[in-house]
Copies of this chain bind each other. A is one copy, B any other.
Amino acid sequence: MTTGVRRRMGVDERRQQLIGVALELFSQRSPDDVSIDEIASAAGISRPLVYHYFPGKLSLYEAALKRASEDLAARFVEPHEGPLGTRLLRVMRRFFDFVDEHGPGFSALMRGGPAVGSSTTNALIDSVRQAARDQILAHLGVQEPPARLELVVRSWISLAESTALIWLDGRRIPRAELEKQLVHDFAALAAVSAAYDEEMGALIRTVFKDEPADGPFADLVGRLVALAS
């Protein structure tokens, strides 16, 4: 390799490199604490050259967040095979992998980071929530959800976000336990809704009827019945 390598990097390739470098730094520390100088230094280029590709830290932050959002949305994609509880558990594992990899950046973003309130940032967060919602409804086999199912799915996604944020704040509970707990929480929120609404009742009976006796949902029901008695 010669020093010519650096000069041969095209505009898009350089932008992608800077996004990668910035994302790595934003994942390790709060984006507020990462300077353009550090990003330039980590990328091996000058500070003015960074500004040549991105007019300011916000635009680089938004580009990094866009890549992270696409990555996170992709983790909700799961083959439609096998019991639902097992599928959800795999999704939750990949979700916590992401949260683990991007801890400080994820916290800063969700708690109100430097770019929160920018319409681009909010749209990216919403796009991930929407992708997660669409995937879950597809697994439930529902295209046009009734209002109560929509509420269960969307509020569960928000529960997964807050559980991950609370986990990052000290990591006092093993993440594997929380991944399983969130799968159970989904069943619990659906069951609470189904307990008082016939449409939801019919829906979750259909969805859960093929869950195996040794799967996470059946295990939970057994334990809850024992707890209630």
Contact = CB atoms under 8 A, between A and B. Distances in A.
B173 A151 contact: yes
B155 A194 contact: no
Nearest to A183: B192
A130 to B, nearest CB: 13
Contact of A228 (B192, B196, B221): B221
Contacts of A177: 196
Copies of this chain, complex-wide, total 2
A147 B172 contact: yes
A122 B109 CA distance: 12
A166 B150 contact: yes
A224 B195 contact: yes
A83 interface: no
Interface of A is mostly: helix
Contacts of A196: 177, 180-181, 223
Nearest to A219: B195
Contact of A155 (B159, B193, B221, B227): B159
Interface stretch (A44-52, A74-82, A113-121): A113-121
Interface string A199-220: 0010011000000000000001
A191 B158 contact: no
14 contacts: A112-B122, A113-B117, A154-B162, A155-B159, A155-B162, A158-B158, A159-B162, A184-B192, A184-B195, A188-B192, A191-B227, A195-B223, A221-B228, A224-B224
Interface of A: 111-117, 121-122, 147-148, 150-151, 154-155, 158-159, 161-163, 166-167, 170, 172-173, 177-178, 180-181, 184-185, 188-189, 191-196, 201, 204-205, 220-221, 223-225, 227-228
